[in-house]
């Protein structure tokens, strides 16, 4: 009896948490084009809050992590340390072509990416720079993946 009650409480908490996702943004050496579009997705015009998303200033509170830019030598260790602070389960979303492939910076002496070389990427939002609508779609896809990850933790 107690187990079923605990399971119901856990499911209720997971359901509530899936409706209030916290986003954390990491710039891994981008040109700031994708960063501007991420901020645009959070403004009232595109309104990421209608999906229940809010930007957090701490990786320890994050549910979804957005990474923009190729991974540079200078940002690699910071990226790895920051992602280690994010509590499980979480979704990693790359925004733009740079974190996926390096884009125009590929082959540079300063680039040691892509992001999936260091962590599993759940969703990739392609484009240089992706539109806020595409970023919103990526966040929605990440929210669905996160819900499945949370469900899998309790089974």
- Look at residues 11, 13, 17 and name the one whose alpha carbon lies nearest to residue 154: 11
| Whether the predicted pLDDT of 60 surpasses 60 | yes
pLDDT value at residue 154: 64
Reply yes or no on domain 21-153 having CATH 3.40.50.12280.
Answer: yes
| Whether the predicted pLDDT of 1 surpasses 50 | no
Give residue 143's pLDDT band: very low, low, confident or very high (50, 70, 90). Answer: very high
d(CA 71, CA 79): 8
- Half-sphere exposure in the Cβ direction for 35 (13 Å, CA): 10
Verify cis geometry, omega within 30 degrees of 0, for the bond prior to 129. Answer: yes
Q: Do 86 and 54 touch, CB atoms closer than 8 A?
A: no
Average pLDDT for 8-34: 78
What is the DSSP-derived secondary structure letter of residue 142?
H
pLDDT value at residue 93: 97
Whole-structure pTM over 0.75, yes or no? yes
């Amino acid at each position: 009896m107690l187990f079923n009650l605990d399971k119901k409480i856990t499911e209720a908490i997971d359901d509530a948490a899936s409706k209030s996702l916290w986003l954390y943004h990491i710039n891994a050496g981008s040109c700031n084009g994708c960063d501007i579009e991420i901020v645009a997705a959070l403004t009232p015009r595109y309104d990421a809050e209608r999906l229940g998303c809010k930007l957090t200033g701490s990786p320890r509170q994050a549910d979804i992590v957005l990474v923009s830019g190729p991974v540079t030598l200078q940002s690699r260790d910071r990226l790895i340390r920051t992602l280690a602070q994010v509590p499980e389960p979480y979704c990693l979303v790359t925004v733009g072509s740079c974190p996926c492939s390096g884009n125009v910076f590929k082959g540079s002496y300063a680039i040691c990416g892509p992001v999936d070389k260091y962590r599993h990427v759940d969703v990739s939002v392609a484009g240089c720079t992706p539109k806020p609508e595409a970023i919103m779609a990526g966040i929605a896809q990440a929210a669905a993946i996160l819900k499945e990850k949370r469900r899998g933790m309790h089974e």
